[in-house]
Amino acid sequence: MGKRQEESGWKQATFNHATTYCRITSLSIAEQRASRPISLCNALVQAVEENQVLVVAGDTGSGKTTQMTQYLAEEGLADHGKIACTQPCRVAAMSVAKRVAEEREALIDPDLRAYSVIMLDEAHKRTISKDVLFGLLKQSIKRQKDLKLIVTSATLDAEKFSKYFYECPIFTIPGRTYQVKVLYTKEPESDYLDTALITIMQIHVSKPPGDILLFLTGQEEIDTSAEILYKQMKALGSSVPELIVLPVYSALPS
């Protein structure tokens, strides 16, 4: 009971409501899939079939993670083995036993004969375990010629991965293009967090409705910022539009 009373006001306001914050779309799933740049499915599948290793470069939002494995499965690449897609970030719902089993699979079966395609997603997000996996897979594809390896990466890093995996070809996916205008402060700010929060409030009060992304260094800064913004909005009352503060970090409850 005491813990409940000590809970921050913004957390109660954010997490105690069964609300989904998203933009409703009238597009069907098929139409949404087709709207992504990765919809150039045939060219991608052909490139995978013609090459044992392929580096796929594409910007965020191009559909590399959500669409590519589905297309490969639909084209029959899972008929003779599984399609695996690795991720660099910890998934909160994954149990310790399952994680250990998955990490040890490449050691128990170094040729990975249960798989027909392995996709190393977000390869540019380097971790020790991922670097080890790079080395294991580089040996596996030499021994098992039927194994397909796809490496997805940010555009700038694609060339490095191509060189590492025997100069394999690079398949480039165009990203979703939005108009971007970069603005800088006139002088460096001594307190970047305070300046960022002031800027958020200025945008919220003076600009049309929309979304604001604030990138910070970790959970403590995110929680602190959320609490400050919540208190500022509460002090302003109904004189300004509602501001919904949504934190995002790995330690959040699922």
Mean pLDDT calculated for residue range 227-236: 92
Q: Where a domain ends, among 173, 208, 231?
A: 173
219 and 121 in a common domain: no
DSSP codes of every residue in 178-245 = --------SS--S-HHHHHHHHHHHHHHHS-S-------SSHHHHHHHHHHHHHHHHHHGGGS-----
Alpha-carbon distance 49 to 47, whole Å?
6
Which residues neighbour 58 within 8 Å (Cβ) at sequence distance 6 or greater?
Answer: 37, 38, 64, 152, 155, 172, 173, 174, 175
Residue 61 included in any domain: yes
2 inside domain: no
Q: Give backbone dihedrals phi and psi of 115, rounded to 5 degrees, phi first.
A: -115, 145
CATH code of the domain containing 97: 3.40.50.300
Q: pLDDT tens for residues 34-73?
A: 555 555 778 888 899 999 999 988 776 666 777 777 788 8
Shared domain check, 199 and 227: yes
Burial readout 215-250 (b: 16 or more C-beta within 10 A, e: otherwise): ebeeeebbbebbebbbebbeeeeeeeeeeebebeee
What are φ and ψ of residue 170, in 5° steps?
Answer: -115, 125
**Do 140 and 75 sit in the same domain of this protein?**
yes
Q: What is the mean pLDDT of the chain?
A: 78
For 136-189, write each residue's pLDDT tens digit. Answer: 899 999 998 999 999 988 766 888 999 999 999 999 887 666 677 888 888 888
Going by their DSSP bridges, the two strands 170-173 and 115-120 should be labelled as unpaired
Please report whether residue 10 resides in a domain.
no
Phi, psi (degrees; rounded to nearest 5) at 214: -120, 115
Question: Does residue 212 sit within a domain?
Answer: yes
The set of long-range contacts for 243-248, using a CB threshold of 8 Å and a minimum separation of 24, is 243/204, 244/14, 244/21, 245/10, 245/14, 246/14, 246/21, 247/14, 247/222, 247/223, 248/222
**Boundaries of domain holding 206:** 181-254
**Close Cβ partners of 127 (under 8 Å, ≥ 6 residues apart):** 88
209 and 150 fall within a common domain: no
Task: Give the span between the Cα atoms of 204 and 208, in whole angstroms.
Answer: 8
Same domain, 141 and 226: no
Mean pLDDT, residues 112-122: 87
Map tokens 């979304």 to a residue: 211
For the full predicted model, state whether its pTM sits above 0.85.
Answer: no
Position 27 in a domain? no
pLDDT at 2: 46
